[in-house]
Every structure is written in C-alpha cells, then in structure tokens.
Amino acid sequence: MTSEVLLAEPRGFCAGVDRAIDIVEHALTKFGRPIYVRHEIVHNTYVVNDLKEKGAIFIEELADVPPGATLIFSAHGVSRAIQDEAERRGFRIFDATCPLVSKVHVELAKLHKEGYEFIMIGHKGHPEVEGTMGQLDSGIHLVEDVEDVAKVQPAQTDLLAVVTQTTLSVDDAAEIVAAVKARFPQVREPKQQDICYATQNRQDAVKLMSPLVDVVIVVGSPTSSNSNRLRELADRLGTPAYMGASAAGLHEAWFNGTQKVGLTAGASAPDVLVQEVIARLRAMGAVSVRTLDGIQETIKFPLPKGLKMDPLENPEPGSLQSPHA
C-alpha cells in the first residue's frame, strides 16, 4: 500500500495561465457579469466551471456574443480572422493569449514579411495551433510527427523556418526538428525554442521524479496538451502513469503494490486539485508527503493596461488590449 507521496517541483499553474485567469476575474470585477470568453480560457474543467459561476460565458462562435459586450481571447491565442471579426463586431476586447504564444506570432509575422514559409510542429485541432497557423493566409504547413515531415511540400525551400506549439513534448519536438533539418538543411530555427519554460520545467521534473516512484499521477484535464505530455513522458520512462482531473478520478487499482507515488500537475491545473488528491492518497494510507527539489519559477506576466482599476482606462468597444500592453 502507498506509504509516501513525492511531489514534482515545479507543478501546476504557470505564469501564462495565472495571467489568463486574472484577466477574466479582473474583467468581471471591473465591467460586471457577463464577460464572454472565446474557448476555454485554459484547458481545465475546474477553472472553467469556477469562472462560469462568477459570470463568465464561454463561447466558440463570435455570433453568440451580443454587440458591445466584453470579450476575452483564451490563453491559446486566436487567428487573425477571429481578431478581425471581433473588432468588426465592436466588442470591448482583451487578449489573454500567453505572451510566449504571442512571441511565436510576432516572429511568424516578421519572417513572413521577409518571404519565409513555415513548418509548424504541433497537434492538429489544438486551439494554439489553429491560432498560430491562422496568423497567415498561406505558406504554413503542419507536421504532427516524423512521418509527416516527408510529406510536407513547401512552395520553396530557400526561406523556410520551423515553429512549434509551446506545450509539446520536448523530446518529441527535438526528434521532429531533427527530421526537418535532415530534409531541409537550411531551415531556420527559432532563436530560443518555442516550447515554453513551464512545459520544459514540468517535463524535467517528471524525468527526475519517475525513477524514484512506483506510479506517477498527473492532475490535469483530458484536453490539456501539456498534462497529457507529462503522463506520456513518465510512461515512456518506464513508470506506470495515469492522469486524473481530480481526486474523484483516482482508481485504487492504480496503487496496488505501490510504496511511492509521484504526483505532478499540468500547467492549467490549480493547486486546490493537487491538495484534494493528496488528501485522498492520505486516506488510502500515505503517511508522508515530500516535495522534491526543483526549479522555483518566479516569472509573472503583466495584465493589459485596460484592466487596471482606473475608470479612465476603460478600453472603448472595438479596441484590442494586446498581451504586450
């Protein structure tokens, strides 16, 4: 029976998620309910339900937002077409796109002006991928795995750059980038990798923790890309790994014959869920909980100017408050 729980460090919320949730909560305080949010603000059911109770309404189609309403773009980012339509419809807009995703968008726009085409490494259908690819009308090609690299057909290869979704497996992305470079030796890579610090740090923490435990539990929602990558990574390292959205999702069979449980959480999972899982593991017999050594994250991203609590700074409807404001 489980006797010890080891906590990965870091785990849970990252700066981009913190900022996105703060934007919704500040908008509710400043402008009152309802506040409309395009797509789940972050991929966590608990967070989304909590914000719904506070007055946020989550939509996919801008036609579902009434004229003059306050609209927030999710942390994953949106396409140019969505931005343009939202401005046309005259909403008061706040952009909660993670600044590290926005950095990829800025680099894309800059290189596109110089004539580059792009290979994007990411998961088809993920909102971040749709938002990044939607920054351009053409000239950006999605690859999901090494096999896709052989199939991609850019119109020219002299000016070719690679970008990646920020929440990928670091190891998988490196393997795909290597395949891209083998096929297109002159391809341009980002100055700094696009995979964000939080994804890298949480994966590194799982690599450190996995050999020390009998089973790994990842707290995260099934739609969360970075949470899924953590579970896959532990599995790949040879430690049985399971993902649960909350303590209620744990199965006792996962812990049969285990002494040490490793616990981590995706970047969109709040600490309250981790604490509930710890309480459940204690009820199942765990007697000690220990946090492993790891990187202490201190990054914080500022809110858009229009959300400071000064009425003179209310953005006019139709104006876009950017993630860099």
Which residues, 6 or more positions from 25, have their beta carbon under 8 angstroms from its beta carbon? 51, 54
CB hemisphere CA count around 58 (13 angstroms):
16
Active-site residue (options: 9, 117, 128, 130): 128
Distance CA(187)–CA(152), nearest Å, equals 13
162: nearest Cα among 135, 128, 189, 183: 189
β-strand partners of 300? none
Active-site residue flag, 128: yes
260-265 and 288-291 strand pairing: unpaired
What separation in angstroms does the CA of 280 have from each of 1, 206, 238? 13, 21, 25
Q: Residue 122 in contact with residue 164, Cβ under 8 Å?
A: yes
Query: What contacts 248, CB < 8 A, 6 or more positions away?
Result: none
Report how far residue 139's alpha carbon sits from residue 208's, in angstroms, rounded to the nearest whole number.
Answer: 39
Q: Which residues contact 185 (CB under 8 A, 6 or more apart)?
A: none
What is the spatial distance between Cα 73 and Cα 309, in angstroms, rounded to a whole number? 20
Closest CA to 140 of 126, 113, 110, 161: 161
Residues marked active site are found at 128
